[in-house]
Amino acid sequence: MKEYSTKDIRNVVLLGATKSGKTTLAEAMLYEGKVIERRGSVEDKNTVSDYNELEKLNQRSIYETPLYAEFMDKKINFLDAPGSDDFIGGAYTAFRVCESGILVINAQQGVEVGTTNLVRRAQKNNFPLVIAVNQLDAEKADWETTQASMKEAFGNKIINVQLPVNPGVGYNCFVDLLMNKCYRFKDTNGTREEIEIPADMADLVADARQELIEKAAEFDDTLMEKFFDQGGLTEDEIRKGLNIGITNGEVYPVFCVSAKSDVGIKRLLEFTKNVAPAPKVGENGPTALFIYKNNIEAHLGEVSFFKVMSGSVTTGMDLEDPKTGNKERLSAIYAVAGVKKEPVNVLHAGDFGCLVKLKNGKCGTTLTTTGSGICYDKISFPAPKYRCAIKAKVQQDEQKLGDALKKISSTDPTLVVEYSKELRQTILSGNGEQHINIVKWLLNNEYKLDVELFAPKVPYRETITKVATAQYRHKKQSGGAGQFGEVHLLVCPAEGELNTKFKIDGKETQLNVKTQETTELDWGGKLEFYNCVVGGAIDLGFMPAILKGIKEKMNEGPLTGSYARDIRVFVYDGKMHPVDSKEIAFIIAGRNAFKEAFRNAGPKILEPIYNVEIMTPAEYQGAVMSDIQNRRGMLGDMGADKGFAVLKARVPLAELYRYSTSLSSLTAGAATFTMEFADYQPVPGDVQTKLLAEYAAQETDED
């Protein structure tokens, strides 16, 4: 492979909904770029992009795959990003390391909800996009409907650069408005010939070309002046105007392709070469690279995929991780086209490549020249929206399971693995049930582990709603030194201004605070602890022991064993023994007095509530709303966004297990959603009764 300077490199992500044909398009681009001599197919499981065993089995992209094509003295790197919402992390990675994208739209489906989500992300960052309407040779291809859906979704940013002549079965001809020519394809290998523009399309083509010229002129004052003066622009001037509009994210040129038949692919590559922006990197700065993905591959071990962010990377170079100071020697550098990896000696700023067997080549790592001071932020991925608990079916395999999950999550930053001390469960969090099922497949097939996935416990919280008092005496005498401690305390909700006047034993009592301590709890909320003991009934030195006992019980609340929060505790009296009073006695007395007072203080179970936002085709809106209400959800704002209904709701986490799967079933896979923790709210009375009964039964079983 020849060396490419920054100005001759283009980095493009292939985006689109599942089944839009991105992988097939990638295969055609590899073919036109002379990287492969024969195109594979998803159905035959022999594409360069979907080379992973999982992707072959599922016949879909699961991981973002780096590829490249050498085309007309340019190197076009492109990432084939998964289309499924369950694997959205690949698109987020691509947005970080690519400068532009090709949005693939299925001509049989038009703009789908997954497509809209990707474009919203692109628009947020003014990310340049070119649209390729694919599968125009399919029986159900509908150019007019697809056009209408694009106009509705993307507004006046849409501009046609091509028009199909014969969409549907046998599609092989389009008019290129930029070049004002008509091309017909003679075979399925990209061989084309120029023909006359069909007479019955002449007026349509003239109007569409004029619209293209006007759109190109919008982005440059000089071009606008010439357009007004002369009524037209040259091909190069149109391209110049479009380049400005695309770079600013203000226009989405539309191309007409059939990736399967290699219709229009070469022209799409030509346009990408000419108009897509070059990498925005430090060409002459100190060497620095950013690792955007890592993987473990057979025969190679750990592979680290990177983008050169500054300077040039050469074989044998020594770099360091600026965060840890760890040194890495780049023993070999490869250019990557899926499973194909070609050794190279140097890669310049903006280029993509991979390294093998780094000591620390994890996603998000910066490697740079010692002392450069360069360090890049890690990629920010979307919050997970599917949770489940996992355990090994054989208890002895728990350690192996932990090690395997650590390895899997190290190559998939969108998978979150944590052991919850609160729930006493290992929790997997990902983008959807398919995502988690992929993890299960890896555990079963690559790590030979049998595992069980099940609904996780809900991290409830416990609190109180009114004032209560209690006292507890701990007395133990069994020969030798005894144990004695007595604690009288009052509890109330930790809200509003501090009040120290209460009715205790039927009398109005003013408590005088001697010392106080507020603890911000790790699980949210707080504990306020007030020492109001007078007359030396309890030595000051025993107060930490009482507080420790209370914290122990808050760590495993009296109602369901969940964390307790937002409570004020006033210790106002007690007793000591000159010989037998010890720290352990007051820990036990404090814990049990708190437990009794808590249960008499209008105890309430709180549950986590999540803000959920759903985007669905309008025809499924009613079904989605009913389902949310059946999940004890409270519907909020409703609106529309580019042809889709947008619903907002507050839903208890307890009701969201497998929601992504249910939503997909309700909407034929056409809807998507996001979820974000909002707050804790009291559970309804019937739910609390049920939870208390379940916990009581659990305690009985354990006894």
Which pairing describes strands 252-256 and 129-134: parallel, antiparallel, or unpaired?
parallel
**386-457 topology per CATH:** Alpha-Beta Plaits (3.30.70)
Mean pLDDT of the chain: 93
Is the pTM of the predicted complex or chain greater than 0.95? Answer: no
Give the torsion sign (CA, 505, 506, 507, 513): positive
Structure tokens, 398: 């728990």
Mean pLDDT for the stretch of residues 176-197: 95
Neighbours of 637 (CB within 10 A): 9
Output the 3-class SS for 608-676: EEEEEEEEEEHHHHHHHHHHHHHCCCEEEEEEEECCEEEEEEEEEHHHCCCHHHHHHHHCCCCCEEEEE
CATH top-level class of 6-275: alpha beta
- The answer to whether the 6-275 and 386-457 domains have the same CATH topology is no
Whether the pLDDT of residue 309 is over 80: the answer is: yes
Percent residues over pLDDT 90 in the chain: 82
Kindly report, residue by residue over 427-483, the tens digit of the pLDDT.
999 999 999 999 999 999 999 999 999 999 999 999 999 999 999 999 987 766 789
Are 279 and 367 contacting, i.e. CB atoms less than 8 angstroms apart?
A: no
Q: Are 288 and 366 in contact (CB under 8 A)?
A: yes
Confidence class of residue 699 from pLDDT cuts 50, 70 and 90?
low
Predicted pLDDT at 703: 46
pLDDT of residue 322: 95
Measured CA to CA, the distance from residue 24 to residue 38 in angstroms comes to 12
Q: Two tokens at 663?
A: 């939503």
Domain range annotation of the chain: 6-275, 288-368, 386-457, 465-602, 607-686
**In contact, 566 and 477? CB cutoff 8 Å:** no
Domain at 607-686: CATH code: 3.30.70.240
* CATH number listed for the domain at residues 465-602: 3.30.230.10
| Helices and strands in the chain, H and E counts | 16, 38
Nearest residue to 646 (alpha-carbon basis) of 655, 654, 637: 637
The pLDDT tens digits of the residues spanning 64-95 come to 899 999 999 999 999 999 988 889 999 999 99
Amino acid 702: pLDDT: 53
Q: Please identify, in words, the CATH class of the domain defined by 288-368.
A: mainly beta
User: Would you place residue 691 in the very low, low, confident or very high pLDDT band (cuts 50, 70, 90)?
Assistant: very high
